[in-house]
Amino acid sequence: MKLNITLLFLLLGAAFVSGQSDKERAEIIKSNNQVHLQQMVVDLQNKAIKDQERALEFSKANDIPMFKENQDGTFDQLMRVTNDGIPVYYSIDNADAANSTRANRLHSGNSLGLNIEGQGMTAYVWDGGPTRITHREFGATSGQRATRGDAPFVLNSNSFHATHVSGTIVGAGVNASAKGMAPQANVITSDWNSDEAEMAAAAANGALISNHSYGVPTSSLGSAPELIGKYLESAQIIDQITYDAPYYQPVFSAGNSGSDNSSNSQPLDNNNAYDKLTFSSLSKNAMLVANAQDASINADGSLSSVSINSGSSQGPTDDFRIKPDITGNGTGVTSSFDSSDNAYGTISGTSMSSPNVAGSMLLLQQYYNETNGIFMKAATVKGLTMHTADDAGINGPDAIWGWGLMNTMKAANVITDDLVGSRIEELVLQNGQTYSITVEADPNEDLLASISWTDPAGQINQGGANDAAPALVNDLDIRITQNGTVFEPWKLTGVARNTTGDNTVDNFERVDVSSPSGTYTITVTHKGTLVNGSQPFSLIVSGEQNDFAIRSSLSVIESCNDQSVSFPLQFLSSSNFNDTVNLTVSNVPSGVNTSLSSTTFTSSGNATLDITGLSNAADGTYPITVTANSPSDQRTFVVTLRILSDSFTNVNTRFPLDNATQISTSPVLEWDDELNAQRYQIQIGRTASFGRLFVDEVVTASTYRISSTTLFPSTVYYWRVRPINDCGQGAYTTQSFTTFQCDEIDAAVSSPIPIPDNNATGITSSISVNQANNIAIGKVNVEVQSTHEYSGDLLITLTSPAGTTIALTSPNGCATPNLGVTFDDDAGAFSCNTAPGQPGYVDSVAPVQPLSAFNGETVNGTWTLGVQDRGPADLGTLNNWKITFCEVPAVLSNEEVIANEFSVYPNPSNGLFTIAGTNTDSANGAVIHILDLNGRVVFTKEVENTSRLNESIDVQNLSNGLYLLQVQQGASRTVEKIIIDK
């Protein structure tokens, strides 16, 4: 298990350099909810720790293995235990891919005339073990293209699978049969431990596509049919990550339970050939992939025939969403193996079809970026993939194939034909809004219109087996109409039935019009009230007919005002259009000059829009319109010019304010965006001269989260931030803050206890704490003294009264005897001391898992130290141990009345309370935040402009403990301590 959050960010951040360009990555990150994503990384890592500790305890108590070896040599791993006591094992999903999905048609020398092979792109892979990154398929064309995103580095019995999956995506084709979908792309591979936390970290760093060829087979859940097909926490977490990172698209394998018609004792519609999807597979926003046999493809790239692999797991979900989403080729796939750098293997399963689809989607992202200068949002690339799939099985989508076999060639053609024969638009539907357009249909092909959106995380389904409560949060609807005739989207009406009608469960809807003629209206609406007030969505239309259009492969350019810029323009026209089209430019800032290299077109061609005199305009962002006029029609295209200079205003800091006190040791620093900034340099030091820096980073967002191991309690820190762009840098804004006071409370035990040799049960020693005020924890240190012949044999854990368990040490081969050590999150990395005459662990070291996991809990109760000797032939004794707590004092008094005539009641509460009082900034409303003691925002509510506040707050989902309530009114911020005690 990976435990070091700082290392996690370093590995993922460093590995990203070889992916998209820094500017492209920065644009993606700007769309993220970075604060929430970074918070999720920590929360999910702590969740993984607790899940594994509980799994280990459950394994011992019930005499079941943590690792189950399968007959084929692979292993399944116990990852967690449900609240009902059901063990959840991860299992790899094993049972001429590029040809089947037509990904090879985008490669150099193929029918589309493109050269899209993943150049400069990065795929992410999580799997059951480490990948053999030195395999020749990962380094044959442009240096080493595979890197590991985490430990371990030692191959295991699942490594063949990870290596095969990675090769299916990025194999160079040294062996032609093993050429991947994106043979020049990079891949970052990790094992499945802590996968959710690492996915959030990758998404926060701008990841686009990841692959996950593993899951929970139905055979492991035979005693719990209510867990099959249900929207549970694992799916909810994936949906939250993707909602916070709108460009990130994870791809999951559907599983290989297709032939298992007995494990689910309560299948949907009482049909045991369906209803076999579990856990993360039920995410709304992830792409779920079924497995087909090799497809027969005609010379023109169209599908001749294809059959499903009988082992591919069937849907749908309990709320009858269309799952799987799509089908790839995962049967008889040849790819790299792990036994040597030139080993290969041929295997089958949705494990192989999933990377087939993931790699193909990576190509679509690359092609769209090369065509339009930006990447698609995840909802767009997912929607495009399903929109253009080849129908298979019954007519329309179903619970076996999803929307059909992926057709990368058709999807690429929609990108090529955008604005003439198709359209790809990324839009936002506001609450109560109706979006409507008219299109002229191409009579030679079907008219298809679809909408796709990244839906907010839904509520966990608490019902029994087959409870149909929808997981959908924001229900958008699309219709096509013509002369009173309404065409509706597809939906499922049973496990093996579909129809068209009002779809109330899927976050992808497609309307098909066969043999169209004339003009149609496409309308997008929504039901109810949109959560968060609006919903971004992607609209894709194919089969429309426009005479001409104008577009650019650089839709946005940022330039210093002492330079000139050029936008490449492409004029597109249909084959039967022969009028003259004239180009003009408008909405140009005053004093700026423009010129077009070509202003008249009669057929498709290229032009350049040159812009000079930028210094005559103020810094800022300017949309400039290029208009194409024919005698009968007009089309416009907007390019965006951002003019920069080396003149900056000082950054306005928001939190913490200058000279603020009682600040967390891991706060989120906030400041307002500076108009002229592309990025910011943030520094933190102990003195106003900033001679020794604790933090020195350049970031693109106007927030920065400080690691929990960087700052100390009771300490004054100076922080400063300055704006930077390509033209220069501004002056620093410098402020200071003081972290919370640490009032130490010590408790110790000193009765020696022998440690049994080579015994996984080990010993425990307890300390009872009974403080009159039962303080909330802000920091914990643990001192351990032990004589032991081989200190590296010891696994030492600490468990709080609340049940949180962390590992202080782990067996690591340290041969130096004895321990005399203080575990402190703020100390150096955990390592073996080899100095003569000193213990193996000495002075202060950081524990294997962070002690900050206890922050916010209260101290009273029994604290238990566990010591296990995991190696043979060495003896020892636990001599004594001590635990030191630092209290987080009240930020204000624990009174109902706080500043600005607010009251909070009741306080303490069970998580339901009311904030009432006068709003001093009624014109702009207020923002309510609740933070835990690590500074993580765990709740946010915006209050619209009103002179009085009377807000009911429901945070019953939060754990018992101390929290900070912040009420922000314009420039004024009030903070109060609240206690949740359920």
Which of 51, 76, 93, 127 is catalytic? The answer is: 127
Closest-CA residue to 963 (of 908, 895, 919):
908
Sheet containing strand 937-943, strands side by side: 937-943, 926-931, 961-969, 972-980
Structure-token pair, residue 652: 């306005």
User: Residue 198 in contact with residue 190, Cβ under 8 Å?
Assistant: yes
The alpha-helical segments, DSSP class H, found in 337-469 are 350-372, 378-387, 408-416
Q: What are phi and psi of 792, to 5 degrees?
A: -70, -5
Question: In sequence order, which residues have a C-beta less than 8 Å from that of residue 63 and are 6 or more positions away?
Answer: none
DSSP letter for 56, please.
H
Active site residue 161: yes
Which of 36, 107, 135, 161 is catalytic? The answer is: 161
Structure-token pair, residue 314: 């069937």
DSSP letter for 939, please.
E
Helix (H, G, I), strand (E, B) or coil at 97: helix
Question: In sequence order, which residues have a C-beta less than 8 Å from that of residue 146 and are 6 or more positions away?
Answer: 131, 133, 135, 138, 139, 166, 170, 186, 187, 188, 189
User: Residue 830 in contact with residue 814, Cβ under 8 Å?
Assistant: no
Q: Which helix (H) or strand (E) holds 7?
A: helix 5-15
| Alpha-carbon gap, residue 559 to 644, rounded angstroms | 6
Cα Rg of the chain, angstroms: 30
User: Residue 258 in contact with residue 349, Cβ under 8 Å?
Assistant: no
Question: In sequence order, which residues have a C-beta less than 8 Å from that of residue 446 and are 6 or more positions away?
Answer: 512, 513, 514, 515, 516, 543
Sheet containing strand 805-807, strands side by side: 759-769, 861-869, 794-799, 805-807
Structure-token pair, residue 99: 């040809």
| Alpha-carbon gap, residue 84 to 610, rounded angstroms | 66
Which of 190, 220, 234, 351 is catalytic? The answer is: 351
Closest-CA residue to 522 (of 457, 574, 449, 440):
449
User: Residue 323 in contact with residue 399, Cβ under 8 Å?
Assistant: yes
Question: In sequence order, which residues have a C-beta less than 8 Å from that of residue 14 and are 6 or more positions away?
Answer: none
| Alpha-carbon gap, residue 670 to 937, rounded angstroms | 13
Which residues form the catalytic set?
127, 161, 351
